[in-house]
Structure 1
Amino acid sequence: MRFAILAPAVAISALLCPLTAWADTLAIDSAPSAITVYPRGALVTRTTTVTLPQSTHDLVLADLPQYVDPARISVRLAGAQLQSVSFRDRNQPPAPDQVSARITAARDAVKAAQVTLDALDDRIALAQIAVQAAKAQADFLTALGTSETLPADVDTLRDLSQMIGDQTLAAGQSAQTARTSMRLLNAEREDRVKDLNDAQAALDALLTADQDRTRLTLTATAAQAGAATLEVSYQVDSALWYPVYDLRLTTGDTPTLKMERGAEVAQNSGEDWRDVALTLATVQPSGQTRPSEIYPELRRVEDREDPQPRMRSEAALGATADMALPAPVMEAPTVAMTMLDGPSVQYAFPRPVSVANGADDVRIALDSVDFTPDVFARAVPLQDDVAYRMARLTNTTGEQLLGSGFATAFVDGQMVGQFDFAPVAAGEKVDLAFGPIQTLRLNRVRLNRNEADRGILSRSSEIVEATRIDIENTGDRAWRVELIDRVPITEQADLEIDWTAQPAPTVTGHNDRRGILMWDMALAAGEDASVTLNVEMNWSEGKVLR
């Protein structure tokens, strides 16, 4: 059920009076004028000015989207006293025709194309009738020439034969003329059908908004005649925007990185946004707006129970089906939290923007940011056979770089790939990948492995293994390489792991991950390098290594 929305300033006595009994009804033309789009949803604002005579009036906006929530509509009126606001999305009275001139012209074009096509079809039908009539005449003359009741007089037969021949020829010529006309008309019909389809497509492009609308009626009193400014704002859910990035890395002695930021905007709100003032906001109004609650943590101790034998048969399981189960331990409720890193950022566009309902995905350029990156190679020989070009940069923009699922990487003008871009806080460092370096070849080979029982599960009590990692620079430029590999780790006293590396790694526990090693090395053009890893694992007899 829909309820009327009452303006906050409405007096109780005014609400009790039948204001509409003497109110004039004025149809208000309005359209979206300013839009703020969030990552999910949008705030739509319509602003219009109307001249009101001195009295009470019903101001009718009959073209709001059908699925606007009345609880999410805000109405402001300057220059008159707003008494009440009512909302109706069904069983509406007839509204004045507010079709634009462009839609009217497009509909007229469709009608004209249809009339032309219908007239052409009529001509084709007449030509078809002429072919059928000529065939009927020829069939009759043929039947007449074979009739058994022909006269026996020679002169009469000669005249009849001449007549049949002349008429048959005339009928054949008429049929051929009609068939030629049909062929030409059918060829022209293809053009007329295309004209109709083009006219209909042009009309459909204008009719992207939903045809079902919602009616908003405002009762307002003007103390004196004059202009009043009406602002109606409402929230819609079917709208979104997301960032898109072009990351352009220029190599050389002094590498540069240009981040071209754009935004993709789409909406299915039920109405077109034409030439609106568009603002993109990074805040999410539908997200969490208050801090989470925490609850007392209840702990308790109980008598230690003797271990029960594990039941392995259906019979044993069935035997305990009626036994009372222990009450579950209730944990403190968990509340999901939406994390918003950094302050909200808004992008306001200086020029009007149009986004059609359910039809357009509009990409808008935001700006570009220049960085001075540290370009190096990252090698992961455990997984890859080549190294990858990396660019390390610090976010010096003073704002968060928003996450995006649509980032395209370019190196010296050539596209090398697309990837997901994770959010980067102001002042934070980030490593971006820019494709493989085919001249940095990797090889990881196990030199030996000494164990009693090979396979996924090892039942011996010792493993000794040696691994060599090779990296070769076959190109004509030097690279700084971050070589990353790993050694096994343990958290059990029964398992001892010792390892050595030659040369020693630059960093152990790379990126705060235990067992991850990193060697920072310089590799000149045509040079190669190797790293040797030795790992020894020992564990108690009778244990299984997994």
Structure 2
Amino acid sequence: MKTSTIGAAACRALFIAAMFCSPVLALAQDTRTPSKITAVTVYTDRAIVTRTASVELSAGESCIALEKLPVDLVDASVQVRGRGTAAATILDVTTAITHTDKVDATSQPRVKTLQDELKAVDKTLRALNDRNTTLQWQVSLVGKIEDAIAAPPAKDAPASHPKIEDMQKLLDFSRENRAALAVEGQKLSDEINETQGRRVALQSQLNEILQGGSARKSYKTVTVRLNAAKSGSLDLTLDYTVHGASWTPAYDVRLRAEERVVELAYHGIVRQSSGEDWKNIALTLSTARPGLGGSAPEAKPWYVDVFVPKPAVDASSGSFNRTGAVSLGNSNALMLNTAAMDNRFNNDMAGNRYTFAANGDGYTGGRLTAAPALSVVTSDYAVAKVDNTTTSASFKIAAATSIPSDNTPQKVSITTAKLGAKLQYQSLPALQETAYLSAYVDNSTEFPLLAGSTNVFLDDAFVSTSSIKTVMPSERFQLSLGADEGVAIKRRVVNRFSETTGLTGKGRRVTYEFLVTITNKKKTVERVVFKESLPISRNEKIVLNVLAPAERDIGTVEKPGKEVTREENNTLVWRIDMKPGEKREIPVKFNIEYPGDIQVTGLE
């Protein structure tokens, strides 16, 4: 691949210079061909753009120039392929940087339109601010009237008491006027904020034109040199990589509690600032990470040795060589930048030229044949098609999409699905007497659910903004749906007392007794899980005795199956399936014994 700044006419110049040596080159044509973006595959940190162009070729050699491409496109990523009736062979593909001439941006019609709109917006803002000043005066006037009536009479004024009817009229007057002024003030504030936002947007557009339009812009031109054995049509496809593009997943999750179903809307949030707008393109979102490469990194030796101080080195001059190495003038050190040589193509350095033979359907030496007709299939629902590989997945968005090059987030729909859910109420009543609803959902789709933000709804009510981790097909994930009053849970202290133990009374015992009450107010059977933390002794002299529930009724993680289980950090966990309207009272009782001659911390 060649990258230079010689302009789009480089190909023509080469052929003119060589025309006395080759009669075939003398027949070469240089054609500037319009192209359009038809498809884009977006990764998490880059995108592959597909452009298409159609040309009519005459027999002989031709140069097809595709102009005004992003200046930051990755030269080594350029691939060209083609199909058509012209029996053509791609000889080479080159890239070149071209520059536009400076233009007077103030002469553009769009500038005059924006300036007129700004004047109109400024006039509207002045009127709104005048209305706001009047409104504030009215509010102040109502306050002064209230103060004047409520103020005590002067010392030399005759004593008088206002009538109840007059005071009621004053209160009604104050309430009605203040309410009306508050409504008008809120409405006026919204209008001012909206108008100011419009002014900022207009000014931003104007600044972009004035600053960017008067500057010299740079683009890249890809020139395809090919040879046609006979005249005919040719459809070229150009692929190249650009940075400044990314996508992240986002979800709307709606639980239908009575149906025990989760309605999942899977979205992709796409941003791009590649330098060109993508209009009505076929969009694909990929989970692959090409920047990581295809192989795992190799382990490097980790040396440990005795430290030996090195003598000080004076400052020295140095230089970079073509391999990316740094040489220091007065030193034997040589620092190799091996990364500078990664992923490089072999270059033909003669005449400072970089060339390569295109791969794909239009590879060097191959023939281009007419493409078969494409069949068009319509879908009932606009959902993405997923292509799974061993290491990644690609989502082909069904509807044509437009993504401007301004880095603003654009939401596209990947798919919708209905997933089965198991509901569970969770609580830690010792800290908060509230039951929190959770849904455990199985990903029964063929789509992996990548880690991303989630808007959670319970029926038609918004609950919260949360996030999920990556969930593969057939994997289960949890959704937190917030507090739900459908299950009530209360915990009260029944008793707490201290006593001495032993024949000599030198021992101490502290007993705690609680009662947890759970009520299922729902019309359906609900599972309730609540936890009670028991003390953990860090000294063998301090002994914990659990009295209720009985030790024989407590299961373990290794041997579950009982209503209550002892789990990590000495926590008792109850899992109860409660019938509609059912009420349960569960006692929790334990004591702590220790010698009286030690002081114990952590007792409540």
TM-score, reference length from structure 1: 0.60
1:235 aligns with 2:241: yes
**Number of the residue aligned with 1:369:** 417
Matched residue type, 1:403: A
Instruction: Decide whether the 8 Å contact of 2:554 with 2:566 is kept in 1.
Output: no
**Gap change, CA 1:59 and 1:488, over 3 Å in 2:** farther
Task: Show the 5 A alignment for 1:328-347.
Answer: 344-347=392-395
Deviation at 1:345, TM superposition (A): 2.6
C-alpha distance after superposition, 1:193-230 (max 9, x if no partner): x99x979959979x999953222222222232222232
How is 1:242-391 mapped onto 2 (pairs within 5 angstroms)? 242-252=248-258, 254-287=259-292, 289-291=294-296, 293=298, 344-391=392-439
> Offset at 1:110?
4.6
CA-to-aligned-CA distance 1:449-485 (integer Å, 9 cap, x gap): 8799xxxxxxxx9996636362443735463201134
> Within 2, Cα distance between the matches of 1:280 and 1:258?
22
Task: Tell me, yes or no, if the aligned pair for 2:429 and 2:489 is still in contact at 8 Å.
Answer: no
Give the conservation status (yes or no) of the 8 Å contact 1:489–1:497. no
Q: Does 1:532 align with 2:588?
A: yes
Cα-to-partner distance string for 1:95-121 (whole Å, 9 max, x where unaligned): 9x9xxxxx9xx9545557879999xxx
User: Matched residue of 1:427: which SS?
Assistant: coil
Q: Which runs of 5 or more residues in structure 1 are unaligned?
A: 5-13, 98-102, 119-193, 301-321, 323-339, 453-460
Q: State the one-letter code of the partner of 2:29.
A: D
Distance (whole Å) between structure 1 residues aligned to residue 48 and residue 508 of structure 2: 66
User: What SS class does the counterpart of residue 89 from structure 1 fall into?
Assistant: strand
Q: Hey, what does 1:80 align to over in structure 2?
A: 88
Assess, with a 3 A threshold, how the Cα gap between structure 1 residues 47 and 428 changes in structure 2: closer, same or farther.
same
Q: Check whether the contact 1:378–1:481 (CA below 8 A) recurs between aligned residues.
A: yes
For residues 306-345 of structure 1, what are the alpha-carbon distances to aligned partners after superposition, in whole Å with 9 as ceiling and x for unaligned?
xxxxxxxxxxxxxxxx9xxxxxxxxxxxxxxxxx997533
Partner of 2:473: 426
Tell me the SS of whatever aligns to 1:419.
strand
Q: Matched residue of 1:397: which SS?
A: coil
Alignment of 1:116-131 (within 5 A): none
The aligned counterpart of 1:64 is: 69
Q: Show the counterpart of 2:41.
A: 36
For 1:45 and 1:239, the matched residues in 2 are separated by 14
Counterpart residue identity of residue 527, structure 1:
K
Aligned 8 A contact 1:208 1:357 in 2: no
Distance in 2 of aligned mates of 1:362 and 1:346: 18
Pick closer, same or farther for the CA change 1:115–1:448 going to 2, 3 Å: closer
Superposed CA offset, 1:465-507 (max 9, x none):
63636244373546320113434668x8968865536334555
Mapping of residues 197-236 of structure 1, within 5 Å: 211-236=217-242
- What is the alpha-carbon distance in structure 1 between the residues aligned to residue 599 and residue 302 of structure 2? 38
What one-letter code is carried by the residue in structure 2 that aligns with 1:280? L
Rate the CA distance shift 1:249–1:24 in 2: closer, same or farther, 3 A.
Answer: same
The counterpart of 1:475, out of the listed 500, 509, 521, is 521
Q: Which residue is 1:518 aligned to?
A: 573
1:76-102 deviation line (CA, Å, top 9, x unaligned): 344532223222336x4879x9xxxxx
List runs of 5+ in structure 2 lacking aligned partners.
5-13, 120-197, 310-387, 501-506, 559-564
Identity between Structure 1 and Structure 2 (%): 21
The structure-2 alpha-carbon separation of the partners of 1:519 and 1:290, relative to structure 1 and needing over 3 Å to count, comes to: same
1:502 aligned partner:
548
**Cα root mean square deviation, aligned:** 5.0
**What is the number of residues matched between the two proteins?**
402
Structure with larger Rg: 1
Contact 1:49–1:230 under 8 Å retained in 2: yes
Partner of 1:385: helix, strand, or coil?
strand
**Aligned pair in 2 of structure 1 residues 115, 467: CA closer, same or farther (>3 Å)?**
closer
Quick one: structure 1 residues 237 and 117, their matched pair in 2 at CA, closer, same or farther if it must change by over 3 Å? closer
- Please give the alpha-carbon distance, in whole angstroms, between the structure 1 residues aligned to 2:89 and 2:577: 77
Q: CA, structure 1 residues 506+425, in 2 after alignment: closer, same or farther (shift >3 Å)?
A: farther
- 1:418-457 matches, cutoff 5 A: 418-438=465-485, 439-443=487-491, 448=496
Q: SS of the counterpart of 1:71?
A: strand
Are 1:415 and 2:462 counterparts?
Answer: yes
Partner amino acid for 2:88?
A: A
Q: Residue 68 and residue 476 in structure 1: after superposition, are their counterparts in 2 closer, same or farther (change >3 A)?
A: closer
1:394 paired to 2:455: no
Find the aligned partners of 1:236 and 1:394 in 2 and give their Cα distance.
Answer: 37
- String of CA shifts for 1:424-447, please: whole Å, max 9, x gaps: 222222222111013523437596
TM-score by length of 2: 0.55
**Which region of structure 1 is more displaced relative to structure 2, 39-48 or 378-387?**
378-387
Tell me which residue corresponds to 2:173.
Answer: none
In the TM superposition, residue 72 of structure 1 has moved relative to its aligned partner by 2.3
Is the alpha carbon distance of 1:410 and 1:80 closer, same or farther for their aligned partners in structure 2, counting shifts above 3 Å?
same
Alpha-carbon distance change, 93 to 479 in structure 1, aligned in 2, over 3 angstroms: closer
Give the Å deviation of 1:520: 0.5
Q: Is the 8 A contact 1:508 1:517 kept in 2?
A: no
Cα distance, 1:512 vs structure 2: 7.9
One-letter amino acid of the structure 2 residue matched with residue 232 of structure 1: L
User: Contact conserved, 1:208 with 1:358, CA < 8 A, in 2?
Assistant: no
Amino acid at match of 2:90: L
Residue 272 of structure 1, CA deviation: 0.3
Correspondences of 1:14-163 after superposition (within 5 Å): 18=18, 22=26, 23-78=28-83, 79-89=87-97, 92=99, 107-108=108-109, 110-111=111-112
Partner deviation per Cα, 1:263-312 (whole Å, 9 max, x = no partner): 22121111100011111122222235324545799999xxxxxxxxxxxx
Partners of 1:114 and 1:396 lie apart in 2 by: 55
Q: Contact 2:425 / 2:526 at 8 angstroms: preserved in 1?
A: yes
Give, in whole Å, the separation in 1 of the partners of 2:566 and 2:45.
33
**Aligned: 1:404 with 2:452:** yes
Q: Matched residues in 2 for 1:242 and 1:115: separation?
A: 39
Q: CA deviation at 1:35?
A: 0.6
Distance 2:293 2:540 in 1: 47
CA positional deviation for 1:521: 1.5
